[in-house]
Structure formats: structure tokens, C-alpha cells
Amino acid sequence: MVYPARGKFLGIFLAAALFACGVLLFGSADAARAAPVLGIFKSDDLQGGTFLTGLWSEGYVGGNPNGVGNGAHAGSWDPTTDTLYTHWELSGPTLLSSTMTDNRTGGNGLIIFQRSFSTANAFLYLKAGQAWDGGDGDYTVDLDFYAQTVTILYQNNVPIFAGSTEAYTGDFVGF
């Protein structure tokens, strides 16, 4: 396992259908206020996980999914209270490129999209009161890398499952 440099953030999300599940890895940080807690955090759909899964959305600039320039947004979803963004929120990445691999035969199989995003205006907001909280409130991560692999399973040319893996790195703002 590779650990990020001090004050760095590395996150990985795995998604099933539209629900993100994942692992977060936090680097330590020095600052006057309480630093984020160093650790590995798993999504609550994995055994022992404390990180809420979430929902993903994509804004279609040209009216089509998977188009260069499309904006992305995601956030944690708490099914017990039916509320969004109680743990985390991803905001601002813009799709730069997407490569599609179609592995279907006779209408059955997978389509895989490998996508990279601009992080010029991308941030991850980590809410207070969660496992990563050093007792100091919310944290902002200024993203410097974000990529996604989307897998869609088809049966008789009908999509029956969609999932994704999200990977990103960035710096804690203020640490």
C-alpha cells in the first residue's frame, strides 16, 4: 500500500448501481487547527465500514452522457434518513476524455468506459462528525487527480447493472 505525503488525500470509490462504496486513505497533516484523522475508511456496505455510499450525477453539456465537458457531482446518501451530503460531497470535475470498450456478444456482456476528469475546479467536501474528523469541523480536499471506470452489464441489450470505480488524489485545504 502506498501512503500519500503529509497533508495529501487519496480516495478510491467502488460503485454498485448508482451507489458509491469505497475506501478512503488520509495522510496526516500539521496545522493550528485539528488535523484530519489518519486512517483507512471503508464504505458501510463493506464489513466494518463507516463511510456512507452515495449517488452520482452527470450534467450533459451537449445533451449526451459521456460527453467531453460534462460536469460531475456526487454525494453521500443516508438511506435511514433519505438525505444527501451528510458525510461527503464531490463537486466540480469536468470530463476530459472517455474510452469505451464494448464486450457484448449477442446483446449480452459489458460496456466499459474509462474516463478522466479535469480537476481545475474540483473539490471533495468531508463533513464533520465522521471517522476522519479531528474534532475541528468540515474539511475540503482540493483534487489534483480524478479518474473513473464505469461498467454497465447488459442482458438482451438491456442494461441491468451499472457500477463504477472512482480514484482521486488531492490536498487538504489549510493543512
The CA-based diameter of the chain, rounded to the nearest angstrom, is 61
For 125-160, the pLDDT digits (tens) are 988 887 777 777 888 989 999 999 999 999 999 999
**DSSP string spanning the chain?**
-PPPPTTEEEEEEEEETTEEEEEEEE-----SSPPPPPEEEEBTTSTT--B--EEEEEE-SSSSTT-TT-EEEEEEEETTTTEEEEEEEEEEEEEEEEEEEE--BTTBEEEEEEEEEE-TT-EEEE-TTSTT--SS--EEEEEEEEEEEEEEEEETTEEEEEEEEEEEEEEETT-
Predicted confidence (pLDDT) at residue 6 exceeds the cutoff of 70: no
Interatomic CA distance for residues 97 and 151, integer angstroms:
16
Going by C-beta distance under 8 Å and a sequence separation of 6 or more, which residues neighbour residue 32? none
Question: Do 89 and 75 touch, CB atoms closer than 8 A?
Answer: yes
* pTM given for the model: 0.74
pLDDT on residue 33: 62
pLDDT, residue 39, reads 63
Top-ranked range on mean pLDDT: pick from 7-16, 66-75, 102-111, 127-136: 102-111
Tell me the percentage of the chain whose pLDDT exceeds 70: 74
pLDDT of 117 reads 97
* pLDDT score of 167 more than 90: no
pLDDT: is 129 or 87 the higher one? 87
Asked whether the predicted pLDDT for residue 172 surpasses 90, the reply is no
Residue 15 has pLDDT above 70, yes or no: no
pLDDT above 70 for 108: yes
pLDDT (tens digit, 9 = 90+) per residue, 20-69? 334 444 444 444 566 777 666 666 666 767 778 888 899 998 888 889 99
CB atoms within 10 A of CB 149: 16
Distances (CA, A) of 10 to 114, 142, 156: 19, 11, 38
